[in-house]
Amino acid sequence: MHFRGVNDVLRKRLKNYYKKQKMTQSLRTDLDQSDTYYDYLCVIDFEATCEENNPPEYLHEIIEFPIALVNTRTLEIEDTFQEYVKPELKPELTEFCTKLTGITQEMVDKAGSFPDVFQRVVDWMREKELGTTHKYAVLTDGSWDMSKFLNVQCRLSSIQYPRFAKKWINIRKSYGNFYKVSRMQTKLTSMLEKLGMKYEGRPHSGLDDSRNIARIAIRMLQDGCELRVNETLHAGQLMSVPGTAPLETAPPPRSPWHKK
């Protein structure tokens, strides 16, 4: 009798088992290291190229990189960063994109490439001593910004996906769990309304969106919510952090801007 085929299958199963165990352990280690009190929250809400009806294969390019820096001790927006980005695949913005975001062709024509803007983001974060003197976490309105926009943009720009963006706080999940509301009540405008606030600024402006998301985060901290990392991008896959609510099972919207 020959058992080579059986042994090969068993060997492969064992190898895959240990690989999965190693990935899980690595994920837990990263999360354990990050599950501490954050001095700052970096609230990020990208704006990207789009069409009125994006085809499934459409590649969104980031055209605005904003950050609202929340000091969790003073409960204030301490500083902001904003730069526009010149798209390369489709340098000409659609009329729909300009009308939606308020970003004009002239703005992106004058802007730097994504690698250049991203380097200035990193330099800004270093100036703020984030990750060295101060502990911080990225916070977003949903999963799209990190798992889709930034993930795709880094591949398009041939730069390594940043370590700081591999885990983040999805405020929608935190909000829903803390205030016990359904997923349908976690749109940006709905969250503001429930908290007795109105949107300030221009909707779909990346910086204004970031500021308003930051206002929600500040109110949640004031109400006693412990904002913690609840999503991560591990081995290229979006994962929910163990011990938090599961990822949304509903299909993604046709356009990420329908979320707001």
Give the catalytic positions in this structure.
47, 204
Q: Classify residue 112 as exposed, middle or buried by CB count within 10 Å of its CB (0-12, 13-18, 19+).
A: middle
Rounded Cα gap, residues 200 and 28, in angstroms = 38
Q: Classify residue 199 as exposed, middle or buried by CB count within 10 Å of its CB (0-12, 13-18, 19+).
A: middle
Alpha helices in 91-170 (DSSP H): 95-101, 105-110, 114-127, 144, 151-156
Rounded Cα gap, residues 73 and 110, in angstroms = 37
For helices 171-179 and 206-222, angle between their N-to-C axes, nearest 10 degrees: 30
Count Cβ atoms below 10 Å from residue 91 Cβ, excluding itself: 12
Rounded Cα gap, residues 63 and 87, in angstroms = 6
